[in-house]
Chain A
Amino acid sequence: MDTLLDILSWLLLTTGGIFVFAGGLGALRMPDLYTRMHAASVTDSIGPILIITGIMLQSGLALASVKLVAILLFLLLAGPTASNALASAALLSGYKPGGPASSTQDAEK
């Protein structure tokens, strides 16, 4: 049973790591803000779910698991909300999908 749990949590942690890395790579390589945000949101949603579930399988029924559930809950609440707010702020300021509008460049401000 323990080995089974170990294998399962190893699988979850590793796939979580792969998703996080892929999201980070996307956030660096994608061509414009909205696609980059799309890639970054992978690291805010599926990454934490897999990694924290993986850790929870290791900690078992303890106080640590309750804290992990709370962490996951707050991350899942705050992450997508922040992405939404950021995207709407960018859109409202005139940053068109497909290419940067010149008014939002740092140098201009």
Chain B
Amino acid sequence: MYHAVTIALLVTMALALLRALLGPSVYDRVLAVNMIGTKTVLLLAVLSFLFGRPDFLDLALAYALINFIGVLAVLEFFRVRAEQDKSDSNVENR
């Protein structure tokens, strides 16, 4: 029962990895990382029941809480880059 879901999740991770490799834009790659993050949470939850170790759910919980920080950091990075580009072009104009 759990095997089918595990296979589906692993295949989806592979598809998302392909998207991350293909790009083409940076946003596609961030989307792919986020997708793989969610799939990892689900995979860990399913696997902990497949192995009969429900106390390992803590790991899935950790990922569910932490994944979001990465996306926020990326957004902040984009903003900083945009500001840098702006100030760089200002310097050139002068």
A and B touch in the complex (CB under 8 A): yes
Chain A: residues with CB nearer than 8 A to chain B?
6, 9-10, 13-14, 16-18, 20-21, 23-25, 27-28, 33, 36-37, 40, 43-44, 47-48, 51-52, 54-55, 58-59, 62-64, 67-68, 70-71, 74-75, 78-79, 81-83, 85-86, 89-90, 93, 95, 100, 104-106, 109
**Nearest CB to that of B85 among chain A residues?**
A109
Contact at B38–A43, with CB atoms within 8 Å? yes
A67 touches B5 (CB 8 A): no
Contacts of B67 in A (CB 8 A): 78, 82
State the 5 A-B residue pairs at the shortest beta-carbon distance, nearest first: A17-B8, A24-B12, A64-B54, A24-B15, A74-B64
Contact partner of A71 (CB less than 8 A), chosen from B25, B26, B57, is: B57
Distance of A81 Cα from B71 Cα, bound (Å): 10
Is A51 a contact of B25 with CB atoms below 8 Å?
no
